[in-house]
Amino acid sequence: GQQVMQIPQYQHVQEGEDFTTYCNSSTTLSNIQWYKQRPGGHPVFLIQLVKSGEVKKQKRLTFQFGEAKKNSSLHITATQTTDVGTYFCAGPGGGFKTIFGAGTRLFVKA
Amino acid sequence: NAGVTQTPKFQVLKTGQSMTLQCAQDMNHNSMYWYRQDPGMGLRLIYYSASEGTTDKGEVPNGYNVSRLNKREFSLRLESAAPSQTSVYFCATLTGVPYEQYFGPGTRLTVT
């Protein structure tokens, strides 16, 4: 079945360093979404990308959707301790379903 | 607006006990979902309801039942809890464009 793979599983960074997480789908996606989950919290929607090659920015976060619409990345510039959490990518799973990647857990050391 | 609410927040069950997790939304969204989250496994879909009156199995439905009581409420029932069902359970709705999942705060369930 359809799968959404995400790497790395964990990333430890020093505050101020950059961070990137990558998402790959086994099939072409009509859109891809990114979510952030703070420790002990629930996933919160960050953004949706729809167009091939699309790049969107939210302050220090840059989201990209690949040309083939099968991969995506989230890049954080100059991480801060407030960036700590798990970042998930997600894509349509057919019908009304959403398929989530396993997530990348970000640790930031001050 | 409360968004998506879940009760209880925490629950400890003994093997074989039953319980119902409650979820309610006040956003008038048609579709509702139940996920479980285990460490390193991401979010796995248990059941979903595309609209009032319909329910469908997700990726991991065994051991669970659901009821879409009305447009607002979607409950998840464990008939005979097992330790493998120890997890965090999230209820979510699906908004319109963009098609984001809007999550409740979760229920942390431990089965001993």
In percent, how much of chain A has pLDDT > 70? 99
**Testing the interface with A: which of B33, B45, B99 to mutate, by most A Cβ within 10 A?**
B99
Residue B52, pLDDT > 80, answer yes
Q: Does B17 touch chain A (CB under 8 A)?
A: no
Say whether residue A48 is in contact with chain B using an 8 A CB cutoff.
Answer: yes
- Choose from A42, A50, A58 for mutation: most chain B CBs within 10 A: A42
Q: What is the largest CA-CA distance in chain B?
A: 42
Question: Which residues contact residue A38 at a Cβ distance below 8 angstroms, ignoring those fewer than 6 apart?
Answer: A44, A84, A85
pLDDT at A38 over 80: yes
pLDDT, residue B40, reads: 72
Chain B closest CA to A86's CA: distance in Å?
A: 9
In this prediction, residue A46 has a pLDDT band, given cuts at 50, 70 and 90, of very high
Q: What is the pLDDT of residues A67-101, one digit of tens each?
A: 999 999 999 999 999 999 999 999 998 888 899 99
pLDDT at B2 (0 to 100): 80
pLDDT tens, position by position, B16-50: 999 999 999 999 999 999 999 998 778 999 999 99
* pLDDT grade for B3, boundaries at 50, 70 and 90: very high
> Which pLDDT tens digit goes with each residue over B82-101?
999 999 999 999 987 777 89
- The torsion of the CA quartet A29, B102, B108, B89, rounded to 10 degrees, works out to -50
Return the percentage of chain B with pLDDT > 90, whole number.
88
**CA separation, residue A28 to residues A31, A86, B68, B110 (Å):** 9, 24, 32, 38
Nearest to B18 by CA among B76, B77, B66, B84: B77
| Cβ pair B42, A43 in contact under 8 A | no
Cβ-contact A98, A65 below 8 angstroms:
no
- When mean pLDDT is compared across A27-41, B48-62, B94-108, the lowest value belongs to B94-108
Distance in angstroms (rounded) separating the CA atoms of residues B112 and B98: 40
pLDDT of the residue at B8: 97
Q: How far apart are CA A69 and CA A3, in angstroms?
A: 14
The answer, yes or no, to whether residue A23 has pLDDT greater than 90, is yes
pLDDT at residue B96, rounded to an integer: 76
- The overall average pLDDT reported for chain A is 95
* B40–A contact, CB cutoff 8 A: yes
* Contact assessment for residue B45 and residue A97, using Cβ atoms and an 8 Å cutoff: yes
What confidence score (pLDDT) does residue B41 get?
Answer: 77
pLDDT at A2: 75
Here the tokens at position A75 are 């890049």
CB contact under 8 A, A42 and B104: yes
